[in-house]
Structure formats: C-alpha cells, structure tokens
C-alpha cells in the first residue's frame, strides 16, 4: 500500500481543481474518471520515474489506463 | 462599419501591475527600470532592464495548479495576468460550458517561453528528449499566450497570435478593431506580451543599441527625446484591452474607457532608407496619414501623440515623420509623450502596454510626463515648440490621441483613440 500512497500523491497534483484527491482509487481511470488531461499522463510517468527511481517505456505508458495499471507497472519494475 | 470601444484594460508592466499602480507610476514618474545582477554577471554592456515585479502576485488567482506545475514562460505569466485582469475589468466572466462564439482573442508576442525552451534544449542535447514533459510545446509556441487565455476564458471566436516585432501590441489592437467593426465578433481581447531575461535581451545588447553608461543609475537610463539618449532600455511585460462593439457595450451597460476609431498598418519594404532595423521614413509618414484618412479625421484633430520614441538617437527622426505627415510643427504641433522613460522598451509588449497608458490618459483627462527628457534633443527643438513635449504630467483632456509603434522588419502601425462621452 505504500506504493499506492506515493502514486496517489503524484496523481493528485494533476487533478483538475474540481476533483478531490479522495476520488483516487485503485480502479480509477485517469482520463475518464479522474478527468486528468491525457497530455498530463506524460508528466505523471516522469514523476513516477523520479519517485521510484525506475524508467518506464512507451509500451508501459500505453497500458496505463487506471491507477492499478500504473501500480502493477511500478511494482514489476521496482521488483 | 460598426463603432468599437474599449471596455476593459489590464496591465502587467515593469512600473506597475494592475491599473491603479500603473496609472500612479505613469502620473508620478515612477520608474520600473532596475539594475540586474544577473546581467552584470553575464557581461552585458547594458545591465539595466524593465521587468514586472510578480513576487507579490498570487498566481493561483490566474492559473490552476496543473497549469502552474513547470510553468517557466514569463510571457505567458505576464500575458495571462494582463488578459484576465482586462476581462474582469470589462465586467466579463469566464464561460463555464459553451464557448462564447462572439468573443475572440488576438494576443501577440515576439518570442514566447524562452526560459522553457532553454530547459528543453538542455534535455534534448543530453539525449533526454523523453523527459521534456507535456508543456514544452504549449509554453513555447507563439500562440501559447492566446491558447492559455482563450482556454481559461472560453473564447470561441478568432483565437490567434500576431507577431510584428515592436509593432505587435498596437497591431493587435487594430486587428481586433477590424474584426469587430466588420461585424465578425462582438468582443476581442487584444494585447501582447514579451518574456523577460538575458536570452531575450542579449541580442539587442550584442547590437550595441542599448545604453551602457547608466548601470549605476537605472531610473535615468531610458531617455526618450533627450539630447543624452543613448539607446533603449530593454523591457518586458504585457498589456491587454477588451475591445467591444458599441452596441454590445451599451446593451450590457459596460464601462467605456475610450473609442477606437481605427488606424493603419503598413511596411516600408526595407526601401528608401528603411532596412531590417531602420524605418523607411516615407512609409512611417504614409502610415500616419493613412490612419487619419481611414478614420476620417484631419491632422488638426489630433490633440496628443503617444510616440514609439524608444530613446535612441533616432527619436528626432520620428518627430520629423510626425511633423511632415501631419503638416504641423512649432507651436501648432500636438502634445507628444513617450512612456518608455518609465519602463523602457517592452519590445513585443510595448505597443499594448502603451495603448493601455493611452487609454488611461483619455479616461483620466491627463497627459503623463515623459521621464528623463529635460534636455530635449536640439533636433527636436528645431521642429517642435518645447511646450508641446510633455515632460511632466499635466491636466489636459485630449479628445483624440494618435498612438504609433514601429518595428524591426520595417513595419508600422498607427491607431487613433478617441475620448468617449456617453450620450445621456
């Protein structure tokens, strides 16, 4: 759960002002439910790389629809 | 053609952010020019410049938190402050759902987001292009400023950015005027912005056209029309005006600051003495004459001029152009001033910042004194009576002010503003 909390902190920075951070759940879809601008997914990836000291590939990003998708990718990389 | 009025103004200038501070500085002769340690350390010959002091501004009032992340484009910041303030000043609100199809934006710039571009260059050169982030493009594309403002407000008419060097801001006013006068829009947010910093100003320093003897007395460095003028002081910032059809303004009982009668824009084609960096005097005079003709007034009707007058040794030539174009000299010459003594030459932002100052003169019934021109250039005194050079602020209600800006590339623009009196 520690990884989820760290991810949540990152994602919260890209939420529109009218979306509360409590809405970030494991099954939340970044663009459709959290209303995050798809362009900002790139920034989330960069922040994740810095926070977890990993590197995500373009393919990783393509499969990153929900918070749990992102979490799985992170956990695979962190090992 | 429909009548067009100014219903809102906003300003982010080196000598004041917000109308009250800006007007006070213009009236009292408070300088916005400072010495910058950074320029000294970088071996600039001219180490003084004009930069809006945004330290005390709460940017959360202008941008949402996602927009503020990684925002490193001073032009976008200045332009958004001025643009949103102008919109609010006009009594208008952002659109919540559907865009306002009758409102557009023409917000110019010379080069945008230079500091952001520098960040990108370092990353690209080190093979790290994948780490640029999502906003490198929108912060550095020229139309970024219109895109930020248009998106925040929800503008659904024409949204574009013009660029014509130091003519940009005044040209944006004329473009917006045309759009409304021809019936294609009801409201146009017009203006311009210019980034701060060594990467914008360095090229001018290299051209040796900036003053170098005033590094220890910055407020004296910008000397329009003065015998001791030795170059323009580089500046930055943004000015914005809400232009609106008279019908729309009256219908919603909006404040009306002034009327825009129209004007003219042209180019000297870099012929007849004009070049990439020098103005063709025939073209300047043609532009001024044509502006008067287009708005159907005569040269005699002009009460005051707000010149381009950058404080180089070319200022007397500009006076010659006004005098020849209008057939007026000596005591018959209109009052003339320049605001560049206060904040330097804000480059692409100069025209819009000075148009806002011009509108404030019409609204307040004052002419703001030109700073640092007590020693009027002798070549100017050969043409114009010294009483016509406004070197200290005065009570005088001009009915018509001609505002002109001239830019690199040999381009010119002259806009005619008129005092607005509501018929009750």
At residue B415, the 3 state secondary structure works out as strand
Using alpha carbons, select from B354, B331, B342 the residue that is nearest to residue B402.
B354
Dist CA B117 CA B134 (whole Å): 13
Q: Are B119 and B149 spatial neighbours (Cβ–Cβ below 8 Å)?
A: no
Answer yes or no: do A40 and B66 touch at CB < 8 A.
Answer: yes
Whether B30 is covered by a domain: the verdict is yes
- Residue B15: domain span: 4-258
Domain that holds residue A37: 2-78
Tell me how crowded residue B183 is: count the other CB atoms within 10 A of its CB: 10
Residue B74 sits in a domain whose CATH number is 3.40.47.10
**Per-residue confidence band for B423, with pLDDT thresholds at 50, 70 and 90:** low
- The distance of Cα B378 from the centroid of its chain, to the nearest Å, equals 28
Asked if the C-beta of B151 comes within 8 angstroms of chain A's C-beta atoms, the answer is no
Q: State whether B23 and B111 are in the same domain.
A: yes
CA distance A53 to chain B (A): 14
At residue A58, the pLDDT reads: 87
CA distance B259 to B207: 38
**Residue A63: predicted pLDDT:** 87
Give this complex's ipTM: 0.91
Q: Which of B199, B228, B258 is the last residue of a domain?
A: B258
B156 touches chain A (CB under 8 A): no
Q: Are residues B91 and B226 in the same domain?
A: yes
Tell me which chain B residues have a C-beta less than 8 angstroms from the C-beta of A16.
Answer: 64, 66
The mean predicted confidence, pLDDT, of chain B is 97
- Is the Cβ pair B66, A16 closer than 8 Å? yes
pLDDT the model gives residue B3: 98
Is B285 in the same domain as B376? yes
CA distance B240 to B90: 11
DSSP code, position A39: G
Mutate to test the interface with A, among B62, B116, B130, B147 (most CBs of A within 10 A): B130
DSSP-assigned letters across all residues of B173-186 = HHHHHHHHHTTS-S
B273, B400: one domain: yes
Helix (H, G, I), strand (E, B) or coil at B117: helix
Closest Cα partner for B8 from B193, B239, B348, B185? Answer: B239
- Assess if residue B268 is contained within a domain: yes
Q: At B394, give phi and psi (nearest 5°).
A: -140, 155
Summarize the confidence of residues B403-419 as an average pLDDT: 98
pLDDT in tens, B203-213: 999 999 999 99
- pLDDT computed for residue A43 by the predictor: 96
Residues B226 and B105 in one domain: yes
pLDDT at A45: 95
**pLDDT beyond 70 at B176:** yes
Q: Classify residue B244: in a domain, yes or no.
A: yes
Residue B236 has pLDDT above 70, yes or no: yes
Is residue B76 assigned to a domain? yes
> CB count, 10 Å around CB of A33?
15
φ, ψ dihedrals at B234, nearest 5°: -70, 140
Quote the number of domains for chain A.
1
pLDDT at A1 over 80: no
Q: Which of B65, B69, B133 sits opposite A42 (nearest CB)?
A: B133
pLDDT greater than 90 at residue B98: yes
| Per-residue pLDDT tens digits for A57-75 | 988 888 899 999 999 999 9
On chain B, the residues whose CB falls within 8 A of the CB of A39 are: 134-135
Min distance A18 CA to chain B CA atoms (Å): 10
The last residue of a domain, from among B196, B224, B258: B258
Note whether B283 and B345 are same-domain residues: yes
CA distances from B308 to B20, B48, B109 (A): 23, 20, 17
**Tokens (6 digits) for B417:** 């503003």
DSSP H helices, B53-135, are: 65-68, 74-89, 114-125
Distance CA B190, CA B211 (A): 31
Residue after which a domain boundary falls, among B227, B258, B289: B258
Q: Which residues contact B118 (CB under 8 A, 6 or more apart)?
A: B199
Tell me how far CA of residue B367 lies from CA of A21, A55, A74, B312, B332, in angstroms.
53, 61, 64, 22, 17
User: What CATH number corresponds to the domain at position A24?
Assistant: 1.10.1200.10
pLDDT at residue B424 above 70?
Answer: no
What is the arithmetic mean of pLDDT over B96-113?
Answer: 97
Residue B363 lies in a domain: yes
Query: Model confidence at B249, in pLDDT bands (50, 70, 90)?
Result: very high
Same-domain check for residues B193 and B104: yes
**DSSP per-residue codes, B230-274:** -SPPB--EEEEEEEEEHHHHHHTT----EEEEEEEEEE-TT-TT-
Q: Is the pLDDT of residue A33 over 60?
A: yes
Residue B87 in domain = yes
Cβ distance of B69 and A13 shorter than 8 Å = yes
Residue with tokens 């490198």: B136
Selecting from B64, B65, B134 the residue whose C-beta is nearest the C-beta of A43 gives B134
pLDDT band, very low/low/confident/very high, at B422 (cuts 50, 70, 90): confident
Please give the share of chain B, as a percent, with pLDDT higher than 70: 100
Beta strands in B27-140 (DSSP E): 33-35, 48-50, 103-109
Would the pLDDT of B266 be above 60?
yes
Tally of CB atoms within 10 A around B249: 26
Is B9 a domain residue?
Answer: yes
Is B423 part of a structural domain of the chain?
A: no
């Amino acid at each position: 759960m520690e990884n989820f909390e760290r991810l949540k902190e990152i994602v919260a920075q890209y939420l529109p002002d009218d979306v509360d951070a409590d809405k970030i759940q494991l099954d939340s879809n970044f663009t459709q439910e959290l209303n995050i601008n798809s362009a900002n997914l790139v920034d989330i990836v960069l922040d994740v790389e810095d926070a977890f000291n990993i590197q995500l590939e373009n393919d990783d990003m393509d499969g990153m629809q929900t918070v749990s998708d992102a979490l799985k990718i992170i956990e695979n990389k962190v090992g | 053609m429909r009548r067009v009025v100014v219903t809102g103004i906003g300003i982010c200038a080196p000598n004041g952010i917000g109308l009250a501070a800006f007007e006070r500085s213009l009236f009292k002769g408070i300088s916005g020019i400072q010495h910058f340690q950074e320029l000294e350390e970088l071996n600039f010959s001219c180490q003084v410049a004009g930069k809006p002091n945004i330290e005390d501004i709460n940017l959360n009032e202008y941008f949402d938190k996602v927009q503020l992340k990684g925002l490193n484009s001073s032009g976008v910041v200045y332009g958004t402050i001025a643009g949103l303030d102008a919109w609010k000043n006009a009594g208008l609100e952002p659109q919540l759902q559907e865009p306002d199809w009758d409102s557009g934006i023409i917000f110019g710039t010379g080069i945008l987001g230079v500091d952001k571009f520098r960040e990108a260059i370092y990353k690209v050169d080190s093979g790290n292009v994948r780490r640029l982030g999502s906003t490198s493009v929108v912060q550095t594309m020229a139309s970024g400023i219109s895109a930020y403002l248009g998106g925040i407000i929800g503008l659904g008419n024409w949204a574009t950015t013009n660029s014509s060097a130091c003519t940009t801001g005044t040209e944006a006013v004329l473009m917006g005027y045309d759009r409304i006068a021809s019936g294609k829009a009801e409201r146009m947010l017009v203006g311009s912005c210019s980034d701060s910093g060594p990467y914008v100003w360095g090229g001018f320093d290299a051209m040796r056209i900036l003053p170098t003897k005033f590094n220890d007395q910055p407020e004296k460095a910008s000397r329009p029309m003065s015998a001791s003028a030795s170059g323009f002081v580089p500046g930055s910032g943004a000015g914005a005006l809400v232009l609106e059809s008279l019908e729309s303004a009256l219908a919603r009982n909006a404040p009306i600051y002034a009327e825009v009668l129209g004007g003219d824009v042209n180019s000297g084609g870099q012929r007849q003495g004009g070049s990439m960096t020098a103005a063709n005097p025939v073209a300047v005079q043609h532009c001024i004459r044509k502006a008067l003709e287009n708005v159907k007034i005569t040269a005699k009707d002009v009460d005051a001029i707000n010149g381009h007058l950058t404080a180089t040794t070319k200022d007397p030539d500009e006076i010659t152009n006004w005098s020849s174009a209008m057939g007026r000299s000596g005591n018959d010459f209109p009052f003339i001033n320049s605001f560049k003594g206060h904040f330097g030459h804000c480059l692409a932002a100069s025209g819009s910042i000075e148009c806002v100052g011009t509108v404030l003169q019409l609204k307040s019934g004052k002419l703001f004194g030109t700073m640092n021109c007590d020693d009027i250039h002798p070549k100017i005194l050969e043409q114009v009576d010294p009483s016509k050079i406004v070197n200290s602020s005065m009570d005088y209600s001009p009915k018509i002010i001609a505002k002109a800006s001239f830019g690199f590339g040999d381009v010119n623009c002259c806009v005619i503003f008129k005092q607005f009196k509501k018929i009750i």
